[in-house]
Amino acid sequence: MLLGKIGDPLRQVEMARPPPGPGQILIRVLACAVCRTDLHVVDGELTRPKLPLIPGHEIVGTVVELGKDVRRFKIGHRVGIPWLGWTCGQCTYCRNGQENLCDFAKFTGYTLDGGYADYTVADQRYCFPIPEIYSDTEAAPLLCAGLIGYRSLIKAGNGKRLGLYGFGAAAHIVAQIAKYQQREVYAFTRPGDTEAQRFALNLGTVWAGSSNELPPVKLDAAIIFAPAGELIPQALKAVGKGGIVVCAGIHMSDIPTFPYSILWEERSVCSVANLTRRDGEEFMALAPKVPVRTEVVTFHLEQANEALNSLRSGEIRGAAVLVTQDCTGTS
Ligand SMILES: [Zn+2]
Ligand SMILES: [Zn+2]
């Protein structure tokens, strides 16, 4: 499913299988989750896409062909391909263990072709083995919603009371990890979205309400997954002294001005960008221990536009996942 031009719907096209280059693997895609970032790409809010582009960066598939010098994987292995597709290994960030900030990084489904397809190629060094307890569809949202959620949770620190703004794919995973770590989770949804609030409570959050409400207690940290800048002052009001507000999305609408008093007392605001391979390894080891279970709504690959629209309108509980035609979605 190909994005030809910003603002156009994706088109179903037939293309030759990409040959795996040195260090790359060719993957038969089994499932690919749909991320909010994909909406930002097709809508042109992220301004540097490769065009035409195959979107999708939460890919689960089977290795079907090995490029030259591939040692990490064998044909038949099930692997996951995340957003971070390549880094230079040379820049200051790469050398300081911050490859997520690499000046020359390439991103799956943005500057590299991604997983809204039957086949894709990936650099073996950035792929992860998928824990066996997960089916293909269940595993797909772990590759971004899970990974970026995990990185955001680390950034939020060890405080006991955690707020999550926007209870979609990432929050529903983070809530399970935070509960496993014996924290209290407070879920904030679009005002009046009682169904999403019920979904959050069923996942073990101690409170669920609308994003324009304040929680019953001061929070230690809040993570904002929704791309709405007005949530930053709202979350700052919800955290106590020394609290942190982590913005987990790649794009957000402008932040309204706010009084300094809500930032005062050592509150802070920061963002989380991309992921490192280390995040991926840590998260893939932790997820089956919790165990993180993902709630998914599946669509056929050809229904990618419908899946994107459902995500946009907030209809999806958990994560939307595309499956390829002849795949049942279970491993
Ligand atoms: Zn670099
Ligand atoms: Zn993503």
Please tell me the distance from the alpha carbon of residue 150 to that of residue 142, in angstroms, as a whole number.
10
Q: Please give the angle made by the CA atoms of 80, 252 and 197, to the nearest 5 degrees.
A: 75
Mean pLDDT confidence for 92-106: 98
Name the band, by pLDDT with cuts 50, 70 and 90, for residue 3: very high
Residues 42/114, Cβ–Cβ less than 8 Å? no
Centre of ligand 2 from the C-alpha of residue 250, in Å: 9
Centre of ligand 1 from the C-alpha of residue 229, in Å: 29
What's 119's DSSP letter?
Answer: E
pLDDT of residue 326: 61
Which ligand is nearest the CA of 32, by number?
2
Centre of ligand 2 from the C-alpha of residue 58, in Å: 7
Which ligand is nearest the CA of 33, by number?
2
Centre of ligand 2 from the C-alpha of residue 216, in Å: 31
Please tell me the distance from the alpha carbon of residue 331 to that of residue 312, in angstroms, as a whole number.
29
Centre of ligand 1 from the C-alpha of residue 108, in Å: 16
The residues pairing with 186 across neighbouring beta strands, listed in sequence order, are: 163, 207
Output 254-258 pairs: Cβ under 8 A, ≥24 positions apart. Answer: 254/229, 255/229, 255/230, 256/229, 256/230, 258/232, 258/233
Around ion ligand 2, residues with a beta carbon closer than 5 Å are 35, 37, 144
Q: Please give the angle made by the CA atoms of 180, 183 and 187, to the nearest 5 degrees.
A: 100
Q: What is the pTM of this model?
A: 0.94
Centre of ligand 1 from the C-alpha of residue 104, in Å: 6
Centre of ligand 1 from the C-alpha of residue 27, in Å: 25
Per-residue model confidence as pLDDT tens digits over 29-82: 999 999 999 999 999 999 999 999 999 999 999 999 999 999 999 999 999 999
Please tell me the distance from the alpha carbon of residue 331 to that of residue 326, in angstroms, as a whole number.
13
pLDDT of residue 328: 47
Burial class (CB in 10 A: 0-12, 13-18, 19+), 137: buried
Buried b (16+ CB within 10 A) or exposed e, 262-283: beeeebebeebebbbbebbeeb
pLDDT of residue 330: 42
Neighbours of 207 (CB within 10 A): 18
Per-residue model confidence as pLDDT tens digits over 204-256: 999 999 999 999 999 999 999 999 999 999 999 999 999 999 999 999 999 99
Which ligand is nearest the CA of 114, by number?
2
Which ligand is nearest the CA of 97, by number?
1
Per-residue model confidence as pLDDT tens digits over 266-290: 999 999 999 999 999 999 999 999 9
